[in-house]
Structure 1
Amino acid sequence: MKLNISCLQMDITFGDPQANFETANRMIMDACLSGSDIIVLPELWTTGYDLQNLPQLANIQEAISFLQDSAVKNDIHIIGGSVANQNGQDIYNSMPILAKDGQLIHTYSKLHLFKLMDEHLYLKDGHDTGLFSLEDRTFAGVICYDIRFPEWIRRHVLEGAEVLFVSAEWPLKRLDHWRALLIARAIENQCYIVACNRSGSDPNNQFAGHSMIIDPWGQVIAEAGLGEQILQAEIDLDQVQQVRKTIPIFLDRKPDFY
């Protein structure tokens, strides 16, 4: 099964949801002209890391409505990056997953909060996995800092995930870590990695861009640069099982020892 994937490497406008909806709409329309099956957005794409103002800016329903309309209008599945999701007094960093018929099929809230960017001061951690199904295949979504926890990624793969979608706002000063971690996660889990980072900067950070699509051998199929762009590539899900049969690491695991 082949899928055409587009990562929308947005330059997010800090604290301005309306500007970011306009950017996302433009990039979605451009990606759809190239026949995308799945579109992936970056982390906190409606607000950026304007954490102090999230109580006023958080509106996941507005984002979901926008993504539902985009999915139906363009006949595409959407991995909705992440948006601020307020539930009572708590705010989560949540990834909505939309099928092409507009159905909200899953929402994953970031498990690992990144203290170096003060997430723990403003956000609550989630308590659910990122597993979901599209086209009768199993996928998973995680958010940024999650990729530093291989045991969390492995859990999703053991439960059937063939593609791991990553949405991020990863800083430029740790670009080498971004590339190395994503390639390692692909190799050790024998799955596709589709990672959508943001470009540009906010008052505190310069971001790395370099969205990546990596195959189950760890080969980089496509990689963006620093600036705003749409990264596109075709993936073949049948390759996942081919790689897993060639080097059967899941059969050779010794879970009694770890």
Structure 2
Amino acid sequence: MTLNVALLQMDIEYGNPWGNYEKVKTNIEQAAKSGVDVVVLPELWTTGYDLSRLDDIADIEGGESLNFFAELAKANQVHVVGGSVANQSREQAAEVKNTMLVVNASGEKVKEYSKAHLFRLMDEEKYLVEGNDNGWFTLAGIPSAGLICYDIRFPEWVRMHALGEMKVLYVVAEWPKPRIDHWRALLISRAIENQCFVIACNRVGADPNNTFGGHSIVVGPWGEVLAEAGEDETILYKEIDVDQVDNVRKTIPIFSDRRSDLYR
């Protein structure tokens, strides 16, 4: 089966959820007019890395963002891999997670995944709580998973999802420009070693402390780059043939050849 995806490579307004909601609404409506099946957003798209102000600007239980996605997904008949948002606990205000919300074209939530690996270089551990659940979900009938930025530096975490028959890996990020070569290399490697499609949406622009590198990318199960953006705001479109995953896995049966007696 084929899947048409749109990656919203955007510049995030620092600490301004309301401005970012308006931008995303416009972009989702534009992407939907092109007949896409899935729209993908970047990490922390509502707030950016304005972590010290999360008490004021985080989304309580992710409720506002979830309602926002549900309305847009249903109205435009698209599935949404909603990047991630700063998700604040209602009972414990100090508990904020970096949470991906996935909504189907009927406006129903199909997954909530909170970033498992916090990135100390950007002080995430000072303001955020790590998640303890997996990123598996099914979207458009396809076994999929969603991970967030730093997660891709942990191949064992990605492999665990692939062992669950994941065929499409969605990655959302605010990956800094100085390490953009790592971004590309890691995503291509994760696609090759797990024989899956990787659909990765990064942000562009800058905040007071960082410049972000863009290069949102779609990688095929052979590791071939199928589509890639540059460093400007854009919507990156690509149609993929998900059946290629089964063909690649039959050609080189790495999952059958694993030595589970030696390693997990």
Q: Give the match for residue 123 of structure 2.
A: 118
Once the two structures are aligned, what percentage of the paired residues are identical? 55
Map Cα deviations across residues 137-172 of structure 1 (whole Å, 9 max, x no partner): 210000000000000000001011100000000000
Q: Which residue of 2 aligns with 1:224?
A: 229
Matched-pair contact (CA < 8 Å) for 2:15–2:57: yes
Aligned to 1:39: 39
Distance 1:51 1:167 in 2: 18
- Pairs within 5 Å for 1:86-235: 86-87=88-89, 88=92, 89-235=94-240
Query: How far, CA to CA, are the matches of 2:208 and 2:232 in structure 1?
Result: 17
**Counterpart for residue 56 of structure 1:** 56
Contact 2:203–2:214 under 8 Å retained in 1: yes
In structure 2, which of residues 224, 246, 252 is the aligned counterpart of residue 241 of structure 1? 246
Decide whether the 8 Å contact of 2:144 with 2:166 is kept in 1: yes
Q: Distance in 1 between matches of 2:82 and 2:256?
A: 34
User: What do the CA deviations read for 1:205-256 (whole angstroms, capped 9, x no partner)?
Assistant: 0000000000000000000000100001001110000000001111111122
CA distance, structure 1, for counterparts of residue 224 and residue 8 of structure 2: 21
> Is 1:22 the counterpart of 2:27 in the alignment?
no
Structure 1 alignment gaps of length 5 or more = none
1:136 Cα deviation from its structure 2 partner: 2.7
**TM-score with structure 2 length normalisation?**
0.97
CA–CA distance in 2 between the matches of 1:187 and 1:95? Answer: 24
CA distance in 2, matches of 1:23, 1:198: 13
Runs of 4+ in 1 over 3 A off after TM superposition: none
Amino acid at match of 1:202: D
Q: Which among 60, 68, 71 is matched to residue 69 of structure 1?
A: 71
Partner Cα separation in structure 2 for residue 132 and residue 29 of structure 1: 24
Q: Deviations over 1:176-231 (max 9, x none)?
A: 00000000000000000000000100000000000000000000000000010000
1:62 maps to amino acid:
E
List alignment gaps of at least 5 residues for structure 2: none
Report the RMSD for the aligned CA atoms in angstroms. 0.7
CA deviation profile, 1:56-75 (whole Å, cap 9, x unmatched): 11112111111111100000
Task: Determine helix, strand or coil for the equivalent of 1:195.
Answer: strand
- Alpha-carbon separation, structure 1, partners of 2:8 and 2:227: 13
Q: TM-score, length-normalised on structure 1? A: 0.99
Question: 1:63 is matched by which residue type in structure 2?
Answer: S
Opposite residue 45 of structure 1, the aligned amino acid is: W
